[in-house]
Structure 1
Amino acid sequence: MKVISIVGYKKTGKTTLVERLVSELSKYGTVGTVKHTREEIFPIMGDTERHLESGAQVVVGVTPTRSAKIMKMNDLKSALKQLSQEGLDFAVVEGFKDSDVPKIAIGDVEASNIVARVDINASAGELAKIAMAQPDHVSLDYLIAKIKKSPKVKEAGAIGTFTGIVREVAGDEVTEALEFESYDEVMRQRIKAIEDDLKKKDGILDVLIHHKTGRIEAGDDIVYIVILSGHRQELFPALSDAIERIKDEVPIWKKEFTVSREFWVHDHHDH
Protein backbone atom coordinates (compact mmCIF):
# COMPACT_ATOMS: atom_id res chain seq x y z
CA MET A 1 0.00 0.00 0.00
CA LYS A 2 1.43 3.34 -1.06
CA VAL A 3 0.72 6.19 1.37
CA ILE A 4 0.74 9.92 0.59
CA SER A 5 -0.57 12.91 2.54
CA ILE A 6 -1.86 16.25 1.24
CA VAL A 7 -1.03 19.09 3.64
CA GLY A 8 -1.59 22.84 3.53
CA TYR A 9 -2.90 25.81 5.43
CA LYS A 10 -6.65 26.18 6.00
CA LYS A 11 -8.73 27.05 2.92
CA THR A 12 -5.90 26.24 0.49
CA GLY A 13 -7.72 23.42 -1.31
CA LYS A 14 -6.48 20.27 0.44
CA THR A 15 -9.78 18.43 -0.02
CA THR A 16 -9.96 19.46 -3.68
CA LEU A 17 -6.53 17.94 -4.33
CA VAL A 18 -7.45 14.82 -2.34
CA GLU A 19 -10.56 14.37 -4.52
CA ARG A 20 -8.48 14.85 -7.66
CA LEU A 21 -5.83 12.38 -6.52
CA VAL A 22 -8.28 9.71 -5.31
CA SER A 23 -10.18 9.86 -8.60
CA GLU A 24 -6.97 9.32 -10.57
CA LEU A 25 -5.53 6.59 -8.34
CA SER A 26 -8.82 4.69 -8.55
CA LYS A 27 -7.93 3.97 -12.17
CA TYR A 28 -4.92 1.95 -10.99
CA GLY A 29 -6.18 0.20 -7.85
CA THR A 30 -8.22 0.44 -4.67
CA VAL A 31 -7.97 3.61 -2.55
CA GLY A 32 -8.70 4.48 1.07
CA THR A 33 -8.47 7.87 2.75
CA VAL A 34 -7.78 9.26 6.22
CA LYS A 35 -8.79 12.78 7.22
CA HIS A 36 -7.56 14.81 10.19
CA THR A 37 -10.85 16.25 11.34
CA ARG A 38 -12.71 17.79 14.27
CA GLU A 39 -14.33 15.50 16.84
CA GLU A 40 -17.74 17.10 16.41
CA ILE A 41 -17.89 15.58 12.92
CA PHE A 42 -18.68 12.30 14.74
CA PRO A 43 -21.35 13.08 17.35
CA ILE A 44 -20.58 11.49 20.70
CA MET A 45 -24.08 10.57 21.75
CA GLY A 46 -26.76 7.88 21.78
CA ASP A 47 -26.27 4.14 21.39
CA THR A 48 -22.84 4.44 19.75
CA GLU A 49 -21.42 6.19 22.79
CA ARG A 50 -23.07 3.64 25.09
CA HIS A 51 -21.30 0.85 23.19
CA LEU A 52 -17.94 2.59 23.59
CA GLU A 53 -18.50 3.39 27.26
CA SER A 54 -19.34 -0.26 27.96
CA GLY A 55 -15.85 -1.25 26.79
CA ALA A 56 -16.04 -1.72 23.00
CA GLN A 57 -12.85 -0.66 21.22
CA VAL A 58 -14.54 -0.49 17.81
CA VAL A 59 -18.17 0.23 16.90
CA VAL A 60 -19.45 -0.21 13.34
CA GLY A 61 -22.69 1.55 12.50
CA VAL A 62 -24.50 0.11 9.48
CA THR A 63 -27.15 2.03 7.52
CA PRO A 64 -29.03 1.05 4.34
CA THR A 65 -26.48 2.96 2.21
CA ARG A 66 -23.13 2.90 4.07
CA SER A 67 -21.36 2.07 7.31
CA ALA A 68 -19.08 3.96 9.69
CA LYS A 69 -16.38 2.53 11.94
CA ILE A 70 -15.69 4.43 15.16
CA MET A 71 -12.57 3.41 17.07
CA LYS A 72 -11.11 4.45 20.39
CA MET A 73 -7.70 4.47 18.69
CA ASN A 74 -7.34 8.02 17.39
CA ASP A 75 -3.91 8.15 15.76
CA LEU A 76 -2.80 8.02 12.14
CA LYS A 77 -0.86 4.77 12.58
CA SER A 78 -4.00 2.95 13.74
CA ALA A 79 -6.05 4.42 10.90
CA LEU A 80 -3.49 3.32 8.29
CA LYS A 81 -3.43 -0.14 9.85
CA GLN A 82 -7.18 -0.38 9.30
CA LEU A 83 -6.75 0.48 5.61
CA SER A 84 -3.84 -1.96 5.32
CA GLN A 85 -6.01 -4.78 6.65
CA GLU A 86 -8.38 -4.16 3.74
CA GLY A 87 -5.56 -4.89 1.28
CA LEU A 88 -5.94 -1.50 -0.42
CA ASP A 89 -3.42 -0.36 -3.00
CA PHE A 90 -3.31 3.33 -1.98
CA ALA A 91 -3.98 5.42 1.13
CA VAL A 92 -4.44 9.18 0.74
CA VAL A 93 -4.19 11.21 3.94
CA GLU A 94 -5.52 14.73 4.39
CA GLY A 95 -3.55 16.63 7.02
CA PHE A 96 -1.30 15.27 9.79
CA LYS A 97 1.57 17.67 9.05
CA ASP A 98 3.77 16.25 11.82
CA SER A 99 3.48 12.59 10.81
CA ASP A 100 6.31 10.68 9.14
CA VAL A 101 4.33 9.74 6.00
CA PRO A 102 5.43 11.29 2.67
CA LYS A 103 3.62 14.56 1.94
CA ILE A 104 2.55 16.74 -0.97
CA ALA A 105 2.58 20.28 0.39
CA ILE A 106 0.39 23.06 -0.97
CA GLY A 107 2.34 26.29 -1.24
CA ASP A 108 4.82 27.15 1.50
CA VAL A 109 3.23 25.23 4.39
CA GLU A 110 5.80 23.72 6.77
CA ALA A 111 5.64 19.98 7.47
CA SER A 112 7.89 16.96 7.91
CA ASN A 113 8.89 14.61 5.06
CA ILE A 114 7.67 16.79 2.17
CA VAL A 115 8.34 15.02 -1.13
CA ALA A 116 6.76 17.64 -3.43
CA ARG A 117 5.28 21.14 -3.37
CA VAL A 118 2.35 22.04 -5.64
CA ASP A 119 -0.36 24.65 -6.00
CA ILE A 120 -4.12 24.21 -6.31
CA ASN A 121 -3.79 23.81 -10.09
CA ALA A 122 -1.75 20.60 -9.84
CA SER A 123 -3.16 18.02 -12.24
CA ALA A 124 -4.49 14.62 -11.25
CA GLY A 125 -1.76 12.95 -13.29
CA GLU A 126 0.98 14.96 -11.58
CA LEU A 127 -0.35 14.10 -8.12
CA ALA A 128 -0.75 10.39 -8.96
CA LYS A 129 2.81 10.20 -10.29
CA ILE A 130 4.12 11.53 -6.97
CA ALA A 131 1.96 9.08 -4.99
CA MET A 132 3.00 6.04 -7.02
CA ALA A 133 6.69 6.90 -6.58
CA GLN A 134 6.46 6.44 -2.80
CA PRO A 135 7.72 3.30 -1.03
CA ASP A 136 5.24 0.60 -0.14
CA HIS A 137 3.73 0.59 3.35
CA VAL A 138 3.51 -3.17 3.96
CA SER A 139 2.27 -5.20 6.92
CA LEU A 140 1.50 -8.89 7.34
CA ASP A 141 -2.22 -8.09 7.51
CA TYR A 142 -1.92 -6.23 4.20
CA LEU A 143 -0.25 -9.17 2.44
CA ILE A 144 -2.81 -11.65 3.79
CA ALA A 145 -5.63 -9.40 2.59
CA LYS A 146 -3.96 -9.10 -0.82
CA ILE A 147 -3.42 -12.84 -1.26
CA LYS A 148 -7.06 -13.50 -0.33
CA LYS A 149 -7.95 -11.46 -3.42
CA SER A 150 -5.89 -13.77 -5.65
CA PRO A 151 -7.81 -15.15 -8.65
CA LYS A 152 -6.85 -18.64 -7.43
CA VAL A 153 -8.16 -18.26 -3.88
CA LYS A 154 -11.16 -20.49 -4.66
CA GLU A 155 -8.76 -23.39 -5.15
CA ALA A 156 -6.98 -22.76 -1.84
CA GLY A 157 -7.24 -24.68 1.38
CA ALA A 158 -4.50 -22.93 3.34
CA ILE A 159 -2.58 -19.69 3.82
CA GLY A 160 0.78 -19.92 5.56
CA THR A 161 2.94 -17.04 6.78
CA PHE A 162 6.45 -16.45 8.09
CA THR A 163 7.53 -13.28 9.90
CA GLY A 164 11.18 -12.63 10.70
CA ILE A 165 11.73 -10.21 13.59
CA VAL A 166 14.74 -8.50 15.15
CA ARG A 167 16.00 -10.80 17.92
CA GLU A 168 16.81 -8.69 20.98
CA VAL A 169 18.74 -11.21 23.09
CA ALA A 170 21.19 -13.82 21.75
CA GLY A 171 23.39 -15.30 24.45
CA ASP A 172 25.11 -12.42 26.25
CA GLU A 173 24.50 -9.93 23.42
CA VAL A 174 21.60 -7.47 23.54
CA THR A 175 20.60 -6.01 20.18
CA GLU A 176 19.00 -2.56 20.01
CA ALA A 177 18.36 -2.51 16.25
CA LEU A 178 19.38 -3.83 12.85
CA GLU A 179 19.94 -1.76 9.73
CA PHE A 180 19.45 -3.31 6.29
CA GLU A 181 20.86 -1.96 3.04
CA SER A 182 20.24 -3.20 -0.48
CA TYR A 183 20.24 -2.32 -4.16
CA ASP A 184 16.48 -1.84 -4.27
CA GLU A 185 15.92 -2.77 -7.92
CA VAL A 186 18.08 -5.90 -7.68
CA MET A 187 16.35 -6.88 -4.42
CA ARG A 188 12.91 -6.56 -6.04
CA GLN A 189 14.01 -8.60 -9.06
CA ARG A 190 15.43 -11.40 -6.92
CA ILE A 191 12.36 -11.54 -4.68
CA LYS A 192 10.08 -11.61 -7.75
CA ALA A 193 12.14 -14.50 -9.18
CA ILE A 194 11.71 -16.46 -5.93
CA GLU A 195 7.96 -15.78 -5.92
CA ASP A 196 7.63 -16.90 -9.54
CA ASP A 197 9.66 -20.09 -8.98
CA LEU A 198 7.64 -21.08 -5.91
CA LYS A 199 4.39 -20.60 -7.84
CA LYS A 200 5.57 -23.31 -10.27
CA LYS A 201 5.51 -25.91 -7.50
CA ASP A 202 2.54 -28.28 -7.35
CA GLY A 203 -0.21 -26.94 -5.16
CA ILE A 204 1.30 -23.46 -4.68
CA LEU A 205 -1.24 -20.93 -5.94
CA ASP A 206 0.27 -17.56 -5.00
CA VAL A 207 3.27 -16.13 -3.11
CA LEU A 208 3.96 -12.69 -1.66
CA ILE A 209 7.31 -11.72 -0.09
CA HIS A 210 8.35 -8.41 1.44
CA HIS A 211 11.69 -7.55 3.07
CA LYS A 212 12.11 -4.21 4.84
CA THR A 213 15.22 -2.05 4.60
CA GLY A 214 16.56 0.75 6.79
CA ARG A 215 16.77 0.73 10.58
CA ILE A 216 14.48 -1.74 12.37
CA GLU A 217 14.23 -1.73 16.16
CA ALA A 218 14.43 -4.81 18.40
CA GLY A 219 11.22 -6.82 18.28
CA ASP A 220 9.99 -5.24 15.04
CA ASP A 221 9.25 -7.12 11.82
CA ILE A 222 11.90 -7.61 9.12
CA VAL A 223 10.51 -9.95 6.48
CA TYR A 224 7.10 -11.37 5.56
CA ILE A 225 6.34 -14.44 3.47
CA VAL A 226 2.71 -15.31 2.64
CA ILE A 227 1.85 -18.42 0.61
CA LEU A 228 -1.52 -19.55 -0.75
CA SER A 229 -1.74 -23.29 -1.34
CA GLY A 230 -4.22 -25.97 -2.18
CA HIS A 231 -3.32 -28.13 0.84
CA ARG A 232 -1.18 -27.84 3.97
CA GLN A 233 1.14 -30.60 2.75
CA GLU A 234 2.55 -28.36 0.00
CA LEU A 235 2.53 -25.24 2.17
CA PHE A 236 5.23 -25.86 4.79
CA PRO A 237 8.01 -27.04 2.44
CA ALA A 238 7.37 -23.98 0.25
CA LEU A 239 7.63 -21.64 3.24
CA SER A 240 10.91 -23.24 4.27
CA ASP A 241 12.23 -23.03 0.71
CA ALA A 242 11.29 -19.34 0.49
CA ILE A 243 13.11 -18.50 3.74
CA GLU A 244 16.32 -20.25 2.65
CA ARG A 245 16.28 -18.71 -0.83
CA ILE A 246 15.87 -15.21 0.56
CA LYS A 247 18.90 -15.82 2.78
CA ASP A 248 20.97 -17.17 -0.12
CA GLU A 249 19.86 -15.13 -3.14
CA VAL A 250 18.68 -11.65 -2.13
CA PRO A 251 21.50 -9.09 -1.80
CA ILE A 252 20.79 -7.39 1.52
CA TRP A 253 23.47 -6.28 3.99
CA LYS A 254 22.86 -6.10 7.73
CA LYS A 255 24.47 -3.91 10.38
CA GLU A 256 23.79 -4.82 14.00
CA PHE A 257 23.58 -2.25 16.80
CA THR A 258 24.08 -3.71 20.28
CA VAL A 259 24.34 -1.94 23.62
CA SER A 260 28.14 -2.04 23.37
CA ARG A 261 29.04 -1.87 19.67
CA GLU A 262 27.92 -1.84 16.05
CA PHE A 263 29.14 -4.12 13.26
CA TRP A 264 28.28 -5.56 9.83
CA VAL A 265 26.97 -9.12 9.96
CA HIS A 266 28.26 -11.49 7.27
CA ASP A 267 25.39 -13.95 7.70
CA HIS A 268 23.03 -11.09 6.96
CA HIS A 269 19.78 -13.04 7.19
CA ASP A 270 20.27 -14.87 10.50
CA HIS A 271 17.26 -13.20 12.17
Structure 2
Amino acid sequence: MKVISVVGYKESGNESVVSALVRNLSGFGTVGTIKYMEGQLLNPAEINAGRHFDAGADTVIEITGTEATGTEVVSFSRDLNLEDALDLLCDQGLDFAVVEGFKESNLPKIVIGDLKSVSNVVFRLPADIDMHEELTATLVGIAIAQPDRYTLEALIKKARKNPAIRKAGAIGTFSGIVRELAGNERTSKLEFEKYEPEASKSLDRIRDELKQKEGILEVLIHHKTGVIKAGEDIVYIVIASAHRTELFPALSEAIERIKAEAPIWKKEFTEEEEFWVHDREHPEN
Protein backbone atom coordinates (compact mmCIF):
# COMPACT_ATOMS: atom_id res chain seq x y z
CA MET A 1 0.00 0.00 0.00
CA LYS A 2 1.34 3.41 -0.97
CA VAL A 3 0.78 6.21 1.54
CA ILE A 4 0.68 9.97 0.96
CA SER A 5 -0.28 12.68 3.46
CA VAL A 6 -1.81 16.09 2.75
CA VAL A 7 -1.21 18.81 5.36
CA GLY A 8 -1.87 22.53 5.63
CA TYR A 9 -3.52 25.19 7.73
CA LYS A 10 -7.28 25.02 8.23
CA GLU A 11 -9.30 26.27 5.27
CA SER A 12 -6.23 26.12 3.02
CA GLY A 13 -7.73 23.66 0.56
CA ASN A 14 -6.76 20.33 2.10
CA GLU A 15 -10.15 18.84 1.37
CA SER A 16 -10.06 19.62 -2.36
CA VAL A 17 -6.55 18.15 -2.72
CA VAL A 18 -7.50 14.98 -0.84
CA SER A 19 -10.71 14.59 -2.87
CA ALA A 20 -8.83 15.01 -6.16
CA LEU A 21 -6.24 12.44 -5.11
CA VAL A 22 -8.83 9.89 -4.01
CA ARG A 23 -10.93 10.37 -7.13
CA ASN A 24 -7.98 9.89 -9.47
CA LEU A 25 -6.06 7.22 -7.53
CA SER A 26 -9.21 5.08 -7.55
CA GLY A 27 -8.54 4.61 -11.25
CA PHE A 28 -5.30 2.82 -10.35
CA GLY A 29 -6.51 0.72 -7.43
CA THR A 30 -8.39 0.69 -4.15
CA VAL A 31 -8.08 3.73 -1.87
CA GLY A 32 -8.58 4.33 1.85
CA THR A 33 -8.42 7.61 3.75
CA ILE A 34 -7.53 8.73 7.28
CA LYS A 35 -8.38 12.19 8.59
CA TYR A 36 -7.09 13.92 11.70
CA MET A 37 -10.04 15.59 13.45
CA GLU A 38 -8.11 18.03 15.64
CA GLY A 39 -10.03 19.14 18.69
CA GLN A 40 -13.08 17.06 17.77
CA LEU A 41 -14.33 14.12 19.78
CA LEU A 42 -16.86 11.54 18.68
CA ASN A 43 -19.03 10.76 21.66
CA PRO A 44 -19.98 7.07 21.44
CA ALA A 45 -22.54 7.63 24.21
CA GLU A 46 -24.69 9.39 21.62
CA ILE A 47 -24.88 6.26 19.46
CA ASN A 48 -25.81 2.63 20.09
CA ALA A 49 -22.15 1.64 20.37
CA GLY A 50 -21.88 3.69 23.56
CA ARG A 51 -23.34 1.01 25.80
CA HIS A 52 -20.80 -1.51 24.48
CA PHE A 53 -17.91 0.80 25.38
CA ASP A 54 -19.50 1.35 28.78
CA ALA A 55 -19.54 -2.42 29.22
CA GLY A 56 -15.81 -2.60 28.53
CA ALA A 57 -15.46 -3.26 24.78
CA ASP A 58 -12.28 -1.96 23.13
CA THR A 59 -13.60 -2.11 19.54
CA VAL A 60 -17.19 -1.82 18.33
CA ILE A 61 -18.21 -2.48 14.71
CA GLU A 62 -21.69 -1.55 13.49
CA ILE A 63 -23.05 -2.82 10.17
CA THR A 64 -26.10 -1.15 8.68
CA GLY A 65 -28.15 -1.51 5.51
CA THR A 66 -29.58 -4.47 3.66
CA GLU A 67 -28.56 -6.76 0.82
CA ALA A 68 -30.68 -4.64 -1.50
CA THR A 69 -29.27 -1.25 -0.51
CA GLY A 70 -25.75 -2.36 0.37
CA THR A 71 -24.15 -2.24 3.78
CA GLU A 72 -22.12 0.32 5.64
CA VAL A 73 -19.59 -0.57 8.31
CA VAL A 74 -18.62 1.82 11.10
CA SER A 75 -15.82 0.89 13.49
CA PHE A 76 -14.94 2.56 16.80
CA SER A 77 -11.74 1.69 18.66
CA ARG A 78 -10.00 2.91 21.78
CA ASP A 79 -6.38 4.08 21.67
CA LEU A 80 -5.95 3.74 17.89
CA ASN A 81 -2.99 5.75 16.61
CA LEU A 82 -1.98 6.67 13.05
CA GLU A 83 0.28 3.64 12.58
CA ASP A 84 -2.49 1.31 13.76
CA ALA A 85 -4.97 2.96 11.40
CA LEU A 86 -2.60 2.60 8.45
CA ASP A 87 -2.06 -1.06 9.29
CA LEU A 88 -5.83 -1.60 9.35
CA LEU A 89 -6.11 -0.19 5.82
CA CYS A 90 -3.11 -2.21 4.72
CA ASP A 91 -4.60 -5.40 6.18
CA GLN A 92 -7.60 -4.89 3.90
CA GLY A 93 -5.32 -5.15 0.88
CA LEU A 94 -5.84 -1.55 -0.24
CA ASP A 95 -3.49 -0.10 -2.84
CA PHE A 96 -3.39 3.51 -1.57
CA ALA A 97 -3.95 5.45 1.64
CA VAL A 98 -4.46 9.22 1.58
CA VAL A 99 -3.96 10.82 4.99
CA GLU A 100 -5.29 14.30 5.78
CA GLY A 101 -3.43 16.00 8.61
CA PHE A 102 -0.89 14.53 11.05
CA LYS A 103 1.74 17.11 10.14
CA GLU A 104 4.09 15.79 12.84
CA SER A 105 4.24 12.31 11.33
CA ASN A 106 7.11 11.11 9.17
CA LEU A 107 4.83 10.23 6.27
CA PRO A 108 5.64 11.67 2.81
CA LYS A 109 3.69 14.92 2.64
CA ILE A 110 2.08 17.23 0.13
CA VAL A 111 2.13 20.57 1.98
CA ILE A 112 -0.36 23.33 1.22
CA GLY A 113 0.67 26.90 1.95
CA ASP A 114 3.61 28.08 4.04
CA LEU A 115 3.22 25.53 6.83
CA LYS A 116 6.58 25.32 8.62
CA SER A 117 8.44 22.66 10.62
CA VAL A 118 7.15 19.78 8.52
CA SER A 119 9.34 16.77 7.72
CA ASN A 120 9.48 14.59 4.61
CA VAL A 121 7.93 17.14 2.23
CA VAL A 122 7.65 15.69 -1.28
CA PHE A 123 5.66 18.54 -2.86
CA ARG A 124 4.48 21.99 -1.80
CA LEU A 125 1.39 23.81 -3.11
CA PRO A 126 0.25 27.40 -2.65
CA ALA A 127 -2.86 27.88 -0.51
CA ASP A 128 -6.26 27.68 -2.24
CA ILE A 129 -4.74 26.11 -5.32
CA ASP A 130 -6.89 25.36 -8.34
CA MET A 131 -6.77 21.58 -8.76
CA HIS A 132 -6.57 21.50 -12.54
CA GLU A 133 -6.00 18.31 -14.48
CA GLU A 134 -2.25 18.69 -15.00
CA LEU A 135 -1.55 19.39 -11.32
CA THR A 136 -3.75 16.49 -10.22
CA ALA A 137 -1.83 14.17 -12.54
CA THR A 138 1.44 15.36 -10.96
CA LEU A 139 0.18 14.65 -7.43
CA VAL A 140 -1.14 11.24 -8.46
CA GLY A 141 2.28 10.42 -9.92
CA ILE A 142 3.91 11.41 -6.65
CA ALA A 143 1.56 9.15 -4.69
CA ILE A 144 2.18 6.20 -7.03
CA ALA A 145 5.96 6.68 -6.68
CA GLN A 146 5.92 6.24 -2.88
CA PRO A 147 7.42 3.07 -1.38
CA ASP A 148 5.07 0.24 -0.50
CA ARG A 149 3.90 -0.36 3.04
CA TYR A 150 3.02 -3.94 3.91
CA THR A 151 1.60 -5.86 6.81
CA LEU A 152 1.81 -9.63 7.04
CA GLU A 153 -1.93 -9.88 6.39
CA ALA A 154 -1.57 -7.75 3.24
CA LEU A 155 1.17 -10.03 1.89
CA ILE A 156 -0.94 -13.12 2.56
CA LYS A 157 -3.83 -11.55 0.66
CA LYS A 158 -1.46 -10.71 -2.20
CA ALA A 159 -0.26 -14.32 -2.32
CA ARG A 160 -3.86 -15.54 -2.45
CA LYS A 161 -4.49 -13.37 -5.52
CA ASN A 162 -1.86 -15.27 -7.51
CA PRO A 163 -3.70 -17.57 -9.98
CA ALA A 164 -1.24 -20.33 -9.03
CA ILE A 165 -2.82 -20.44 -5.57
CA ARG A 166 -5.28 -23.01 -6.96
CA LYS A 167 -2.41 -25.51 -6.85
CA ALA A 168 -1.42 -24.60 -3.29
CA GLY A 169 -1.90 -26.81 -0.28
CA ALA A 170 -0.18 -24.51 2.19
CA ILE A 171 0.80 -20.91 2.90
CA GLY A 172 3.57 -20.36 5.43
CA THR A 173 4.90 -17.14 6.91
CA PHE A 174 7.98 -15.92 8.75
CA SER A 175 8.04 -12.74 10.84
CA GLY A 176 11.32 -11.42 12.19
CA ILE A 177 10.95 -9.16 15.21
CA VAL A 178 13.33 -7.04 17.29
CA ARG A 179 14.55 -9.19 20.19
CA GLU A 180 14.52 -7.12 23.36
CA LEU A 181 16.41 -9.48 25.69
CA ALA A 182 19.54 -11.48 24.85
CA GLY A 183 21.07 -12.85 28.03
CA ASN A 184 21.58 -9.88 30.35
CA GLU A 185 21.59 -7.34 27.53
CA ARG A 186 18.50 -5.30 26.63
CA THR A 187 17.97 -3.90 23.13
CA SER A 188 15.69 -0.88 22.86
CA LYS A 189 15.58 -0.62 19.07
CA LEU A 190 17.28 -1.44 15.79
CA GLU A 191 17.90 0.78 12.78
CA PHE A 192 18.06 -0.69 9.28
CA GLU A 193 19.51 0.87 6.14
CA LYS A 194 19.23 -0.57 2.62
CA TYR A 195 21.86 -0.03 -0.04
CA GLU A 196 19.60 0.62 -3.00
CA PRO A 197 18.92 -0.40 -5.68
CA GLU A 198 21.13 -3.41 -4.91
CA ALA A 199 19.09 -4.44 -1.85
CA SER A 200 15.86 -4.64 -3.83
CA LYS A 201 17.60 -6.50 -6.64
CA SER A 202 18.97 -9.00 -4.13
CA LEU A 203 15.56 -9.63 -2.58
CA ASP A 204 14.02 -10.04 -6.04
CA ARG A 205 16.73 -12.54 -6.98
CA ILE A 206 16.14 -14.59 -3.82
CA ARG A 207 12.41 -14.56 -4.49
CA ASP A 208 12.79 -15.59 -8.14
CA GLU A 209 15.25 -18.40 -7.39
CA LEU A 210 13.08 -19.83 -4.62
CA LYS A 211 10.11 -19.85 -6.99
CA GLN A 212 12.09 -22.13 -9.31
CA LYS A 213 12.09 -24.87 -6.67
CA GLU A 214 9.71 -27.80 -7.03
CA GLY A 215 6.30 -27.07 -5.54
CA ILE A 216 6.96 -23.41 -4.66
CA LEU A 217 4.20 -21.30 -6.17
CA GLU A 218 4.68 -17.83 -4.69
CA VAL A 219 7.31 -16.04 -2.60
CA LEU A 220 6.81 -12.55 -1.17
CA ILE A 221 9.40 -10.69 0.92
CA HIS A 222 9.19 -7.33 2.68
CA HIS A 223 12.03 -5.94 4.81
CA LYS A 224 11.43 -2.70 6.69
CA THR A 225 13.96 0.12 7.06
CA GLY A 226 14.45 2.89 9.58
CA VAL A 227 14.12 2.64 13.35
CA ILE A 228 12.18 -0.37 14.66
CA LYS A 229 11.49 -0.67 18.37
CA ALA A 230 11.84 -3.77 20.55
CA GLY A 231 9.06 -6.26 19.83
CA GLU A 232 8.13 -4.72 16.47
CA ASP A 233 8.29 -6.48 13.10
CA ILE A 234 11.37 -6.30 10.88
CA VAL A 235 10.80 -8.66 7.97
CA TYR A 236 7.93 -10.66 6.50
CA ILE A 237 8.21 -13.72 4.24
CA VAL A 238 5.14 -15.39 2.74
CA ILE A 239 5.46 -18.59 0.71
CA ALA A 240 2.72 -20.62 -0.97
CA SER A 241 3.55 -24.20 -1.88
CA ALA A 242 1.86 -27.28 -3.24
CA HIS A 243 2.74 -29.31 -0.12
CA ARG A 244 3.91 -28.55 3.42
CA THR A 245 7.09 -30.60 2.95
CA GLU A 246 8.30 -28.05 0.39
CA LEU A 247 7.21 -25.04 2.44
CA PHE A 248 9.35 -25.09 5.59
CA PRO A 249 12.76 -25.58 3.92
CA ALA A 250 11.94 -22.69 1.57
CA LEU A 251 11.04 -20.38 4.46
CA SER A 252 14.28 -21.24 6.25
CA GLU A 253 16.37 -20.72 3.11
CA ALA A 254 14.67 -17.40 2.41
CA ILE A 255 15.56 -15.78 5.73
CA GLU A 256 19.11 -17.18 5.75
CA ARG A 257 19.74 -15.85 2.25
CA ILE A 258 18.29 -12.43 3.10
CA LYS A 259 20.69 -12.14 6.03
CA ALA A 260 23.67 -13.37 3.99
CA GLU A 261 23.09 -11.74 0.59
CA ALA A 262 20.98 -8.59 0.87
CA PRO A 263 22.97 -5.35 1.52
CA ILE A 264 20.84 -4.32 4.50
CA TRP A 265 22.74 -2.97 7.51
CA LYS A 266 21.58 -3.14 11.11
CA LYS A 267 22.45 -0.74 13.92
CA GLU A 268 21.68 -1.96 17.43
CA PHE A 269 20.83 0.27 20.39
CA THR A 270 21.32 -1.31 23.83
CA GLU A 271 21.29 0.17 27.32
CA GLU A 272 25.08 0.45 27.19
CA GLU A 273 25.97 1.32 23.61
CA GLU A 274 25.00 1.55 19.95
CA PHE A 275 26.84 -0.16 17.11
CA TRP A 276 26.53 -1.39 13.53
CA VAL A 277 26.19 -5.18 13.74
CA HIS A 278 28.09 -5.73 10.49
CA ASP A 279 31.16 -4.04 11.99
CA ARG A 280 31.08 -6.42 14.94
CA GLU A 281 30.64 -9.49 12.75
CA HIS A 282 33.27 -8.43 10.17
CA PRO A 283 35.83 -6.29 12.01
CA GLU A 284 38.39 -6.73 9.22
CA ASN A 285 36.18 -4.63 6.95
* Normalised TM-score (structure 2): 0.84
Q: Is the 8 A contact 1:162 1:239 kept in 2?
A: yes
What displacement does 1:117 show? 0.7
Q: Is the 8 A contact 1:177 1:217 kept in 2?
A: yes
- Give distance in 2, aligned partners of 1:153 and 1:173: 43
- Give distance in 1, aligned partners of 2:271 and 2:81: 31
After the TM superposition, which residues 92-107 of structure 1 pair with which residues of structure 2 at under 5 Å, given as runs?
A: 92-107=98-113
Q: Is the 8 A contact 1:253 1:268 kept in 2?
A: no
Q: Which residues of structure 2 form unaligned runs of 5+? A: none
- SS where residue 47 of structure 1 aligns? coil
After the TM superposition, which residues 43-192 of structure 1 pair with which residues of structure 2 at under 5 Å, given as runs?
A: 44-62=45-63, 63-64=65-66, 65=70, 66-110=72-116, 112-113=118-119, 114-119=121-126, 120-122=129-131, 123-192=135-204
Instruction: Give per-residue Cα distances to partners, 1:66-125, cap 9 Å, x unaligned.
Output: 222222234322211210111212110112222232211111123532332113235221
- SS where residue 137 of structure 1 aligns? coil
Instruction: Give per-residue Cα distances to partners, 1:108-149, cap 9 Å, x unaligned.
Output: 123532332113235221111222233332222322232233
* Deviating 4+ runs (over 4 angstroms): none
Aligned-pair Cα RMSD in Å: 2.3
Query: 2:232 corresponds to which residue?
Result: 220
Matched, 1:239 2:251: yes
- Give distance in 2, aligned partners of 1:263 and 1:13: 45
- Give distance in 1, aligned partners of 2:280 and 2:15: 45
Q: Is the 8 A contact 1:252 1:268 kept in 2?
A: no
What displacement does 1:46 show? 4.0
- The verdict on how the C-alpha distance between 1:61 and 1:169 changes in structure 2, with shifts beyond 3 A counting, is closer
Q: Is the 8 A contact 2:175 2:233 kept in 1?
A: yes
Partner amino acid for 2:106? Answer: D
Q: Is the 8 A contact 1:59 1:70 kept in 2?
A: yes
Aligned length: 268
Q: Is the 8 A contact 1:199 1:206 kept in 2?
A: yes
Higher mean C-alpha displacement, 137-146 vs 219-228 = 137-146
Query: 2:268 corresponds to which residue?
Result: 256
Partner amino acid for 1:4? Answer: I
- SS where residue 242 of structure 1 aligns? helix
- Give distance in 1, aligned partners of 2:241 and 2:19: 39
* Normalised TM-score (structure 1): 0.88
Partner amino acid for 1:29? Answer: G
- Pick aligned residue for 1:202 from 214, 217, 223: 214
- Give distance in 2, aligned partners of 1:73 and 1:173: 31
Instruction: Give per-residue Cα distances to partners, 1:188-208, cap 9 Å, x unaligned.
Output: 111111111222222222111
- Give distance in 1, aligned partners of 2:56 and 2:164: 39
